[in-house]
Structure 1
Amino acid sequence: MQRMTETVVQVIPAIQEDDGIASLNALALSKAFLHGKLSPVEAARTLLDRIERLDRHVNAIVHVDREKTLGMARASERRYLTGKVLSPLDGVPVTIKDLSSIAGWPRRRGSLAFDGSSACAEDTPCVARLREAGVVFLGKTATPDSGCKVVTRSAVHGVTLNPYDPTKTPGGSSGGASAALAMGFGPIAVGSDGAGSIRIPAALTNVFGLKPGFGRVPAFPPDIDMPHSVVGPMSRSVADAAVMLAVMSRPEPRDPFAWPIPFVVPDDLGDPDLSDLTVAFSPRMGCDAPLADREVDELVAGAIPLLARAGARTCAEDPGWPVDPARPFQVFWDTVCSATVDGFAQDRRSLLDAGILRAAEAGRRVSIGSYQLAMEQRLKITAASREFFNRFDLLICPVLPTAAWSAERNVPEGFEDDDWRWCPYTFPWNMTGQPAASVPIGFTTSGLPVGVQIIGRWGKEENVLRAAAAVERRRMLAIVHPHSR
Structure 2
Amino acid sequence: MSISNSTDADALAFLDARVLADAFRRRTLSPVEVADVLLDRIETLDGPVNAVVHLDRAATLAMAAAAEARHAADAPLSALDGVPVTIKDLSSVAGWPLRRGSLALDADRPAATDTPCVARLREAGLVFLAKTATPESGCKVVTRSAVHGVTANPYDLGRTPGGSSGGAAAALALGFGPLAVGSDGAGSIRIPASFTNVFGLKPGFGRVPAFPPDPDMPHSVVGPMARSVHDAALMLDVMARPDARDAFAWPVPFELPADLAEPMLQGLRVALSPRLGCNSPLSDPQVDAAVLEAGPLLADAGARVERTDPLWPVDPLEPFEVFWAVGCMGTVDGHAGARQALVDPLLRTVAAAGRDITLARYQRAVQQRLDLTAAAAAFFCRFDLLIGPVLPVPAFAVERDVPEGFADTDWRWCPYTYLWNMTGQPAASVPIGFTSQGLPIGVQIVGRAGAESTVLRAAAAIEQRRPLRLLAPAMARRQQA
TM range, smaller chain: over 0.9
Q: How far apart are 1:16 and its partner, in Å?
A: 4.6
Q: Quick one: distance in 2 between partners of 1:390 and 1:418?
A: 35
Q: Is the partner of 2:46 in helix, strand or coil?
A: helix
Q: Quick one: distance in 1 between partners of 2:19 and 2:191?
A: 26
1:32 matched to 2:23? The reply is: yes
Structure 1 stretches of at least 4 aligned residues deviating more than 6 Å after TM superposition: none
Percent identity of paired positions between Structure 1 and Structure 2: 66
Which residue of 1 is the match for residue 428 of structure 2?
437
1:75 matched to 2:29? The reply is: no
Which residue of 1 is the match for residue 138 of structure 2?
147
Q: Quick one: distance in 2 between partners of 1:238 and 1:267?
A: 13
1:138 matched to 2:129? The reply is: yes
1:222 matched to 2:216? The reply is: no
For residues 38-53 of structure 1, what are the structure 2 equivalents within 5 Å?
38-53=29-44
Q: How far apart are 1:264 and its partner, in Å?
A: 1.7
1:188 partner letter: L
Which residue of 2 is the match for residue 185 of structure 1?
176
1:85 partner letter: P
Q: Quick one: distance in 1 between partners of 2:379 and 2:255?
A: 25
Which residue of 2 is the match for residue 263 of structure 1?
254
Q: How far apart are 1:317 and its partner, in Å?
A: 1.2
1:340 matched to 2:340? The reply is: no
Q: Quick one: distance in 2 between partners of 1:63 and 1:89?
A: 23
* Alignment match of 2:198 (pick from 190, 207, 213): 207
1:161 partner letter: A
Q: Quick one: distance in 2 between partners of 1:339 and 1:442?
A: 38
1:201 partner letter: P
Which residue of 1 is the match for residue 267 of structure 2?
276
Q: Quick one: distance in 2 between partners of 1:465 and 1:134?
A: 24
* Alignment match of 1:376 (pick from 367, 377, 400): 367
Q: How far apart are 1:78 and its partner, in Å?
A: 0.3
Which runs of 5 or more residues in structure 1 are unaligned?
A: 1-14
Which residue of 2 is the match for residue 243 of structure 1?
234
* Alignment match of 1:450 (pick from 403, 425, 441): 441
* Alignment match of 1:58 (pick from 49, 67, 81): 49
Q: Quick one: distance in 2 between partners of 1:36 and 1:17?
A: 17
Which runs of 5 or more residues in structure 2 are unaligned?
A: 1-5
Which residue of 2 is the match for residue 161 of structure 1?
152
More displaced stretch, 457-466 vs 261-270:
261-270
Q: Is the partner of 2:24 in helix, strand or coil?
A: helix
Q: How far apart are 1:117 and its partner, in Å?
A: 1.3
Q: Could you state the TM-score of these two structures normalised by the residue count of structure 2?
A: 0.97
Q: Could you state the TM-score of these two structures normalised by the residue count of structure 1?
A: 0.96
Q: Is the partner of 1:451 in helix, strand or coil?
A: strand
Q: Quick one: distance in 1 between partners of 2:245 and 2:437?
A: 48
1:213 partner letter: G
* Alignment match of 2:380 (pick from 375, 383, 389): 389
Q: Quick one: distance in 1 between partners of 2:296 and 2:303?
A: 9
CA RMSD, Structure 1 to Structure 2 (Å): 0.9
1:483 matched to 2:474? The reply is: yes
Which residue of 2 is the match for residue 125 of structure 1?
116
Q: Quick one: distance in 1 between partners of 2:53 and 2:382?
A: 45
1:18 matched to 2:12? The reply is: no
Kindly provide the CA deviation profile for residues 245-296 of structure 1, in whole angstroms up to 9, marking residues without a partner as x: 0100000111110011211210000111101210001101111111000000
Q: Quick one: distance in 2 between partners of 1:126 and 1:237?
A: 20
